[in-house]
Structure 1
Amino acid sequence: MAKKLVEVFTAGCSICERTVKQVKDLTQYSSEHDVVVYDLNKQCDTNECEDKAKEYGVQSVPSVTINGKLMDCCSHRGVNFDTLQAEILGH
C-alpha cells in the first residue's frame, strides 16, 4: 500500500471531532499514512491551512483530502465514512 497524506479540515466542532477520530481510527494501524488536522477556527501560525483549503477547494468542514485531492465523500453534505474508508484503506 502506498503512503498517503490524509489532511482533515475542521472548525473544532463536535461533528468535526468525530471525523478526526474516524480518520485516526482508520489510519492508526498503518505507518503508511500521515494524518494532519487543520482547525480553521484556530488558524495556523502561517497561512498554510487557509492556503491549502483554498487550493483543494474545501467549501465546508469537516473535509478530508488524500494526497492533495478533496475526497468525493466530502463534496456533498457531511462526510460519507464508507467512501472515506474505501479511499484510505483501498477497499
Structure 2
Amino acid sequence: MAEKLVELFTSGCPICERTVKQVRDLTQYSAEHEVVVYDLNKKCDTNKCEDKAKEYGIQSVPAVAIDGKLADCCSNNGVNFDTLEAEILGK
C-alpha cells in the first residue's frame, strides 16, 4: 500500500469527531499514512488550514482530502464512511 497524506477538516462537532476517529482507526496499523487534522474553529497559526480548505473547494465539514484532493467520500455534503474506507485502504 502506498503512503498517503490524509487531511481532515473539522469544526470540533460530534460528526467531525466521528470522522477523525474513523480515519485514525483505518490508519492506526499503518505507518505509511500521515494524518493531519485541521480544526477550522481553532484556526492555524498561519492561514494554512483556511488556504487548504479553499484550495480543495471544501464547503462543509467534516471533509477529508487524500494526497491533495478532496476525497470522493466528501463530495456530497457529508462523509460516506464506506467510500472513505475504500479510498484510504485502496479497496
Taking structure 1 as the reference length, what is the TM-score of the superposition?
A: 0.98
Instruction: Provide the residue aligned with 1:83 in structure 2.
Output: 83
The 2-side partners of 1:73 and 1:89 are apart by 13
* Structure 1 residues not aligned, in runs of 5+: none
Instruction: Provide the residue aligned with 2:69 in structure 1.
Output: 69
The 2-side partners of 1:58 and 1:82 are apart by 20
The 2-side partners of 1:50 and 1:77 are apart by 18
**Cα offset for 1:26?**
0.3
The 2-side partners of 1:45 and 1:87 are apart by 30
Instruction: Provide the residue aligned with 1:4 in structure 2.
Output: 4
Instruction: Provide the residue aligned with 2:55 in structure 1.
Output: 55
Letter aligned with residue 87 of structure 1: E
What is the root-mean-square deviation of aligned Cα atoms in Å? 0.5
Describe the SS at the equivalent of 2:7. Answer: strand
Runs of 4+ deviating beyond 4 Å:
none
Instruction: Provide the residue aligned with 2:39 in structure 1.
Output: 39
